[in-house]
Structure 1
Amino acid sequence: MGWSKAARLGRAEWLPGWLAAGAVGAALLLAGAPSVHPQAWPAAVAVGVFAVSGNAVSMVLVMQRAAPGRAGQDSALVSAGFFAGFALGPPVFGVLAEAGHYGSAWLRVAGKFAAACSVAFMWAVRAAAEHGDCGMMRPDGAGRALSDVLDRGAVTAADVGYQFPLFADSDSGRWITTGRSAWTGGFWAGLLWLRARHTGDPPDRAAASACTARLAPWVEADTATRGLILWYGTALARGDSGAAPPKADPRAPEAPSGVGRPENPVQASLFPAVKRIWRHRSVCRRFLAETGRSAEDEAFQ
């Protein structure tokens, strides 16, 4: 988490090289561990800090630099490379270790990390040369990106009306909505509050307030996602009486209402949740059979 937070625009490009360099040191420490046993402990920590953390930083870079519409494919390609190494590396290493080559096996790993370090730094230098500012988004670019996000939020709000957006068809762009919201309902309310805070327009604030008020039924919901819904949906609504859900808990003013109250605890057992889902599935199937409608037509409506 620390590395991914440090991977900001203009700095993220250099992190893979430094992480690979740290991983080289970790592998060298492990190569010498058969002779100096205590150094295996800091070496193991270093593997986690540097080698394993490369996955998170790489994903941040993919999100920052992927072309429009390519983020999913690019992140899948990066994940495939990482997890292929996780799957194939240990068996090969185990064969070498069983043959008495534990130290030399780690030297080979160090060599691969060194190669990755060289490639990463060459890529970072090229990125800096191409962009001139280490790939940082210029102020005008950031402004356009923010404007696009706000405009998209306004279009979505107009499309869904009183409903909550759930997901959109990738071809037509048509939103599939739900009246009760789902575990993402709080995210939509939070996004509306962010827009309202940026624009300062009373209509935007009214839309955010109304959306948060519609989350009130989740206060009494016996679900582990209740806190998730109410935190993002109400955290920015402080001081707005129209958005306040009922029965706010006076003993926890800094927490979203309805989260973890003794008289209405979150259900931690899996069995009741599965039973409810199965019962809901049966009700839906009976309704569709009686009305002659398809599940695709009625999904989440």
Structure 2
Amino acid sequence: MSLGSGTTRPALEDPEIYLLARDLELVGRGLADALVHGRHRGLLRGHGVEFHSHRSYEPGDDLRRLNWQLYARQRKLFTKESRRELQRPVHLLLDVTGSMAVAHGGWSKYAYAARVAAGLAQLACRQGDNPGLYLLGNGIESALPPRSGSMHLQAVWAELAASSPGTGADLPGAFVTARDLLKRRGFVIVISDFLDKEDLLLNEMAVMRQQGHEVLALQVLDPMEVSMPKTGDFDFIDPESGESVRVSAENHWRQYEANAAAWRGKLANRCAAQGIIWSSTTTAEPLLEMMAAWLETR
């Protein structure tokens, strides 16, 4: 594990370990191990279950799996057996535009999002699925199509560790390109702050949903993008355009927080209407608890 010099190695139970650790392999394995235990088991399952065959009913079988239509014809009870589609793609779409570099909360939005992606990639592999990674900025900055195997997983972690937010910002265009690359139905997991052209992004996610993908969206924000101090003057800077404006907190904090809450609520409602699993968090939230709560909403 790689930590800052002089840093004491914390226990794996410490929620801060997932942000303190710079080794994304450690982070990915640790998060996945925690998520697959107990009530967090099978968090990415459900979408890929298909009918396989029938067998005669046995006492103790789940009555919900009885084929009543077959019973009506043959007057015999049969239980439906299913099997999970093997090696479904889990497409991880990660925002690497300039706004993801914001780090007022101690951790940049990209650092937080990259750790989420590292854990999801490992979780997908643990469940027999194939993770793929697409870094979206000024178009597709990097693409690792879904594959199986430990070498591919290592490549995903390495790409996440080596990448950082850039200056380009054409997320809608990147989404269109990515959508055309996602040929096989599976999971599409979008991790972004959704600060730029969010209406276009939601439209693209809705199209992916219509194409048969199960779409999950995680909004990662800096704490200052949700609330602000009650006193003092602050310069608000657009990280992608560089434009700034100074405001007085005393005169604006209530409206600022109300606007932020309304905006997040609008995004959540639009996603719900399209069948997209949505969650919004900040970099101040413990990583493991946030991921478990988000994925369990499925």
TM tier, smaller: under 0.3
Give the TM-score normalised by structure 1.
0.21
Larger radius of gyration: 1
Give the TM-score normalised by structure 2.
0.21
Q: From the two aligned structures, give the one with the greater helix fraction.
A: 1
Q: From the two aligned structures, give the one with the greater strand fraction.
A: 2
